[in-house]
Chains A and B, each alone.
Chain A
């Protein structure tokens, strides 16, 4: 060190100094937002190849953007799934219900009725529209932001709220963090806090279905941030190696908590384009276009069901709200982003489409929104009869030890007895409610 002049580079050479690229989002809090760099092709422009096409022929679809709903609110092009108005209204109804549910549960957390909540605002189409293209017994392996699937599949809302409140009605016995639902009956796999773990599991489930000569397929959802996990790579590899009947849905909502999608690799490619390297079919879809989401999922489902193999779908969308009730996005991104987002709002776009078809109007929409809010309010009150978090109405202490194993081994029996003893010391004569 001492023999080097002050300020001289550490490496004694005339080669240029290397520099590290640390991605930086375009806009930070307070910045004016201009999304004109995002390429939004006109609706109907993308071709719809045969469902059993060669993955080599999907290059443009992996880099493009499949869109159906145009600026004129009409459906365009070969991806138009041509759904009947009744189905469209059902879809809109699920989306309105999910939004009303999110609003109420978020408020519930702020009121101290539970510890935690996560909204899916702006992403309703990526779960509701896409899952409606699956059969009811196709197994879904969701992440934590696909509550819309449960609503679309008719899961009783009271069970969702019981779970969020961890009360005595909670089917998961208060063991899981709010929103980590599970319903085998609705082919909805138990949600884990560990990111992307569900992706190779979905592939394994699909492999099992193929091993048994079943006709059911699997679909999994993962955020763009979590595609950086090793599990996602394993899932893509296994899916392609075994031609598993699985759909890998990547919800690219631009943000992984405070990290923009550049930290998952989005600066230089699309997430759908990753499919090409694995030999998977890859589709990039306008995630705020419910018809495009439905059509892409149906395409992939048909492909999987006919042994055509797996598909990776990227839904290009925007996380309109904070990551969770524990997050404040004003600390890391411009508040303007939400309003400037070029793909709009999925609920508004579907609503406007139905109106353009002459199958809907603002009055009916207003009535539907009111009814959704009223339904959620009513069910919330009902669920509160079973208790809210921390108010004592929960499952008995000993249930904490059940289901670790199929049967209680001696050490858990001993610990269970200890917990009951402790409870009697804390609450002599029983719990006062």
Chain B
């Protein structure tokens, strides 16, 4: 997935001289996750550069660059560290088009590694997507495969609205099934890791059907797509699994079609439960598919605690928690 992201940035910068990559350690060093490796060499220090350690400065400067007419792609090293930039993001980037009636826009794509499962402890594991989905004017996009990462990132960069692009760092090098005691396979062995050369895009607001099934609908994104898929396979559940890919805008049509077909819905995310994005999904499914539901909508999420270090696998919404929820939904 790292190569796919790097490739997307390279393609975007080659096609459009206004695309600028900036962030802590992204320049000479190529990023702490190597996502920007080689870009400064190829595109120059004027277009790929290191920044001071200041998230509010990074996002604030990017808003100004966007107002000028550039298309900045700032990186926030970990989603856990995006908070100092939230005022710039929520009060400024998200509102610029609205408050100026379209005079000024904020075509930023903020890339940030997110999610746990890597013993990152409290400040290298968070999944703060619900903070952003709650803000009018920001799009939130999360890829689950290398193919999607490239196509979605290119769409985000070309989109004229500010986008948060969360990269699940647990699956940077290979999909993670949640069975943490089994060895992780590299992306090479997976069909979704085949990334075409050159330019292609994947539209925002369109979910990906991971597998077709009849027994229940699973709504997931990021790492949890792979976990949910593996658990359903292990339990022999014929699930209709949707990888949402973008939370705002949301592919409500695909969700409705699937839940109306299966009559059951499981929502899975790593983020904490209360007021998480799962609550929005659950409400939407209940409002729109109520008469088709044969069981209450279930949410499998992280617990409502900060992300712990030593108890990572007790916290992570893995096979046991998902398995219990599947049993509950299917027994109704």
Do residues A182 and B99 form an inter-chain contact, with CB atoms below 8 A?
yes
Chain B, 56-99, contact with A by CB distance < 8 Å: what is the 0/1 string?
A: 11001111111111101000000000001001100110011111
Do residues B91 and A209 form an inter-chain contact, with CB atoms below 8 A?
no
* Shortest Cβ distance from residue A64 to the other chain B in the assembled complex, whole angstroms: 30
Assign chain A's interface to a size class.
35 or more
* Shortest Cβ distance from residue A290 to the other chain B in the assembled complex, whole angstroms: 28
A180/B57 contact (C-beta < 8 A), A207-B65, A209-B68 known: no
Q: Which of A190-198, A267-275, A423-431 contacts B (4 or more CB under 8 A)?
A: A190-198
**A174 and chain B: residue at smallest CB distance:** B101
Report if A171 contacts B (CB, 8 A): yes
A200/B61 contact (C-beta < 8 A), A182-B101, A182-B103, A182-B104 known: yes
Do residues B64 and A231 form an inter-chain contact, with CB atoms below 8 A?
no
| Chain B hits for A209, CB < 8 A | 68
Among B70, B87, B100, the residue within 8 A (CB) of A184 is: B100
Do residues B97 and A175 form an inter-chain contact, with CB atoms below 8 A?
no
Do residues B60 and A403 form an inter-chain contact, with CB atoms below 8 A?
no
**A204 and chain B: residue at smallest CB distance:** B64
| Chain B hits for A176, CB < 8 A | 99
| Chain A hits for B88, CB < 8 A | 197, 200-201, 231
**B52 and chain A: residue at smallest CB distance:** A237
Chain B, 4-33, contact with A by CB distance < 8 Å: what is the 0/1 string?
A: 000000000000000010000000000000
Do residues B57 and A205 form an inter-chain contact, with CB atoms below 8 A?
no
Please provide the chain A residues from 181 to 239 with a CB less than 8 Å away from any CB of chain B in the complex: 182-184, 189-190, 192-194, 197, 199-209, 211-212, 218, 230-231, 233-235, 237-238
Do residues A234 and B56 form an inter-chain contact, with CB atoms below 8 A?
yes
| Chain B hits for A189, CB < 8 A | 67, 104
Chain A, 152-189, contact with B by CB distance < 8 Å: what is the 0/1 string?
A: 00000000000000000001110110001011100001
Do residues A234 and B54 form an inter-chain contact, with CB atoms below 8 A?
yes
Chain B, 96-139, contact with A by CB distance < 8 Å: what is the 0/1 string?
A: 11111111110000000000000000000000000000001101
Do residues A200 and B104 form an inter-chain contact, with CB atoms below 8 A?
no
Report if B249 contacts A (CB, 8 A): yes
Do residues A204 and B56 form an inter-chain contact, with CB atoms below 8 A?
no
User: What is the bound-complex CA distance between A211 and B91, given in angstroms?
Assistant: 26
* Shortest Cβ distance from residue B205 to the other chain A in the assembled complex, whole angstroms: 7
* Shortest Cβ distance from residue B62 to the other chain A in the assembled complex, whole angstroms: 6
User: What is the bound-complex CA distance between A162 and B99, given in angstroms?
Assistant: 15
User: What is the bound-complex CA distance between A183 and B103, given in angstroms?
Assistant: 7
Report if B47 contacts A (CB, 8 A): yes
Do residues B65 and A208 form an inter-chain contact, with CB atoms below 8 A?
yes
A211/B101 contact (C-beta < 8 A), A204-B61, A204-B65, A205-B64 known: no
Do residues A190 and B104 form an inter-chain contact, with CB atoms below 8 A?
yes
Assign chain B's interface to a size class.
35 or more
Do residues A204 and B63 form an inter-chain contact, with CB atoms below 8 A?
yes
Do residues A405 and B64 form an inter-chain contact, with CB atoms below 8 A?
no
Chain A, 231-264, contact with B by CB distance < 8 Å: what is the 0/1 string?
A: 1011101100100000000000000000000000
| Chain B hits for A39, CB < 8 A | none
Do residues B60 and A204 form an inter-chain contact, with CB atoms below 8 A?
yes
| Chain A hits for B270, CB < 8 A | none
User: What is the bound-complex CA distance between A214 and B57, given in angstroms?
Assistant: 22
| Chain B hits for A211, CB < 8 A | 20, 46-47, 65, 70
Do residues B252 and A201 form an inter-chain contact, with CB atoms below 8 A?
no
Report if A2 contacts B (CB, 8 A): no
Among B57, B67, B91, B139, the residue within 8 A (CB) of A405 is: B139
Report if B167 contacts A (CB, 8 A): no
Do residues B65 and A404 form an inter-chain contact, with CB atoms below 8 A?
no
Closest 9 CB pairs of A and B: A204-B64, A200-B60, A204-B61, A234-B57, A208-B68, A201-B64, A190-B100, A205-B64, A409-B249
A–B pairs, 28, beta carbons within 8 Å: A139-B68, A172-B101, A173-B101, A180-B99, A183-B103, A184-B100, A189-B67, A189-B104, A190-B100, A194-B87, A194-B91, A197-B91, A199-B60, A200-B64, A201-B63, A208-B65, A211-B46, A211-B65, A211-B70, A231-B60, A234-B61, A237-B54, A238-B54, A403-B101, A403-B102, A405-B97, A406-B97, A409-B205
B residues touching A (Cβ–Cβ < 8 Å)? 20, 46-47, 51-52, 54, 56-57, 60-70, 72, 84, 87-88, 91-92, 95-105, 136-137, 139, 159-161, 205, 248-250, 252
A residues touching B (Cβ–Cβ < 8 Å)? 139, 141, 171-173, 175-176, 180, 182-184, 189-190, 192-194, 197, 199-209, 211-212, 218, 230-231, 233-235, 237-238, 241, 403-406, 409-411
